[in-house]
Amino acid sequence: MITPVWPITSGTTLLDAEDEASQAAYRLVRRGPLASVAQALAMLPLRGEAPDLQVYFALIGSEPGLVPMAQPAVTALAVLLTPASRGTVTLRSPDPEDPPVVDPAYLSDKADRQALRKGLDEMRELFRAPALAAITGPALFPSPSSGDSELDAFITDSLVSIWHPVGTCRMGRSADAVVSPRLAVQGLENLYVADASVMPTITRGNTQAPTIMIAEKAASLLAS
């Protein structure tokens, strides 16, 4: 995910939601501006008809690395839905108490950088539309004058995970699959995995609903 930011010149942002009414609405009924960081969502196709980019529009500014800003701003949290890069999870040592070695290998496949660059271009074009240009100023991150190298550097510097990792216990029929199509761990008895780690590839969107489906399917398989 990358996080381009534009300043807000008209209207309110989440910086204005610190009043007692907004806090009471969230505290009592989980409603109001504090109920969600994202105020709008878009799904964009970059390389065909299916969406490749999911964009959350949040009425709060975030410097690269998701550092909150005190300036009224809107952040477009642009999430690549179909990353080609593949990370690894390996053992650190024979000691089971040692944490594993996790290498997400972000941007290790150049197709991901190209897709994020195209998504960034789409976002910059969107904010040039009259309706948005009327309430926002020139982009804060990246600068409107940024050249190719600066835009690539912004992608690298602002890149963060959207916390939807999958695939570390990939399901399949091949010898290197961790679990079978019935979610049983290969080579062991009575051990099953029922979470997002069994997905062979990530879904084009949030993983919560698919994970619930996997859990319900697992319950059905174990009960049969």
Q: Are residues 97 and 176 in the same domain?
A: no
pLDDT score recorded for residue 94: 94
- pLDDT of 163 reads 80
Model pLDDT, residue 122: 92
Q: Please, what is the average pLDDT of the chain?
A: 92
Same domain, 146 and 173: no
pLDDT of residue 3: 94
Q: How much is the pLDDT for 33?
A: 87
What is the predicted pLDDT for the residue at 47?
Answer: 80
Structural domains in the chain (count)? 2
Regarding predicted confidence, which is higher, 74 or 163? Answer: 74
Asked if the model's pLDDT at residue 64 lies above 90, the reply is: no
* pTM, two decimal places: 0.83
Q: Catalytic one among 117, 118, 164, 170?
A: 164
Same domain? For 10 and 32 the reply is yes
Averaged pLDDT, 159-181? 91
Identify the CATH number of the domain in which residue 40 sits: 3.30.560.10
User: In this structure, what token pair is assigned to residue 22?
Assistant: 């907004």
- 19-56 confidence digits (pLDDT tens): 889 899 999 999 988 888 788 889 999 888 899 999 99
At residue 98, does pLDDT exceed 90?
Answer: yes
Indicate the pLDDT class of residue 18, thresholds 50, 70 and 90: confident
Task: For residues 137 and 221, state if they share a domain.
Answer: no
Query: Do 209 and 148 lie in a common domain?
Result: no
pLDDT interval class at 156 (50, 70, 90): very high
Let me know if 164 is a catalytic residue: yes
